[in-house]
Amino acid sequence: GAGVSQSPRYKVAKRGQDVALRCDPISGHVSLFWYQQALGQGPEFLTYFQNEAQLDKSGLPSDRFFAERPEGSVSTLKIQRTQQEDSAVYLCASSFDRSYNEQFFGPGTRLTVL
Amino acid sequence: AQSVAQPEDQVNVAEGNPLTVKCTYSVSGNPYLFWYVQYPNRGLQFLLKYITGDNLVKGSYGFEAEFNKSQTSFHLKKPSALVSDSALYFCAVRDEAGGFKTIFGAGTRLFVKA
């Protein structure tokens, strides 16, 4: 009965470093979403997976951002050559199926780029 | 393009009084509307959703929301506020015609005073 988990919970990176953020969705959930939440703002959509297929990546802010979900379960969000403006909380959410069901959110990874 | 507006950064209400947290939206197709709550040091939690049907939807913890198509609004309400309702509330919308992207508002902080 575990919920969505994310690791690491906190990440400090030097500008220019690559980072990888992991999301373990609820078992059996088809849909997986990544969001970026800046301080004092609502979550901003980054990308959406339906099983292993990335169906929407329209929210990825640049080609430095890359996400994958190769086996339709665990997902990784990778940010290359991090910049200070990448500092934010990165949220992962999963949903039971591909329709309009509610999303279950993980605790987030707080990324700080120095 | 989809958008969500939460016009109030903060709402203050006395315990036992009714509360309303406002949300308006803009979509090109039919909207799927959601409310989520974020307690301190906890992840986003689903409260309720409107997909179709009755304009008044009931959710967790005694909350309800009314869908008003003509005013493009989906205000969150509770007849009698509790101190424990103090949290950050987010309205979100998915456009039936817009794929899987979910747009969140900036959030409204609710303070319930004893």
Give percent of chain B with pLDDT exceeding 90. Answer: 81
Q: How far is residue A32 from each of residues A14, A88, B23, measured CA to CA in Å?
A: 28, 19, 25
* CB-based burial, A82-92: b 16+ in 10 Å, e otherwise: beeebbbbbbb
What are the chain A neighbours of B100 within 8 Å (beta carbons)?
Answer: 31, 33, 48, 50, 55-56, 98
Residues B33-71 have pLDDT tens digits of 999 999 887 889 999 999 988 999 999 999 999 999 999
Q: Tell me, what's the pLDDT at A40?
A: 87
B40–chain A Cβ distance below 8 A for any pair: no
Yes or no, beta carbons of B46 and A93 under 8 Å apart: no
Please give the Cα distance from A15 to A80 (Å, whole number).
10
What are the chain B neighbours of A98 within 8 Å (beta carbons)?
Answer: 100
Q: Tell me, what's the pLDDT at B38?
A: 94
Q: Tell me, what's the pLDDT at A99?
A: 67
What are the chain A neighbours of B103 within 8 Å (beta carbons)?
Answer: 45
Q: Does residue A16 contact residue A84 with C-beta atoms inside 8 Å? A: no
Yes or no, beta carbons of B101 and A56 under 8 Å apart: yes
Q: Tell me, what's the pLDDT at A98?
A: 67
Q: Tell me, what's the pLDDT at A1?
A: 55
Q: Does residue A26 contact residue A85 with C-beta atoms inside 8 Å? A: no
Yes or no, beta carbons of A100 and B45 under 8 Å apart: no
- Mean residue pLDDT of chain B comes to 94
Q: What's the CA angle centered on B103, arms B100 and B107, to 5 degrees?
A: 150
One-letter identity of residue A52:
E
Q: Tokens representing A32?
A: 């997986």
More confident residue, A98 or A83: A83
Q: Which of B44, B101, B106 sits opposite A45 (nearest CB)?
A: B101
Residue A16 has pLDDT above 70, yes or no: yes
A-facing residues of B in 76-95 (CB < 8 A) are 90, 92, 94
Residue B99 has pLDDT above 90, yes or no: no
* pLDDT-based confidence at residue B29 (cuts at 50, 70, 90): confident
Ramachandran area for residue B72 (φ above 0: left; ψ -120 to 50: alpha; else beta): left
Give percent of chain B with pLDDT exceeding 70. Answer: 99
Residues A31-84 have pLDDT tens digits of 999 999 999 899 999 999 999 999 999 999 999 999 999 999 999 999 999 999
Q: How far is residue B111 from each of residues A22, B23, B114, measured CA to CA in Å?
A: 34, 17, 10
User: How close is the nearest chain B Cα to the Cα of A48, in Å?
Assistant: 7
Please give the Cα distance from A81 to B64 (Å, whole number).
44
- Please give the DSSP secondary-structure letter assigned to residue A103: P
Sorted by sequence, the CB contacts under 8 Å of residue B57 that are 6+ apart come out as B48, B49, B50, B64, B65, B66, B67
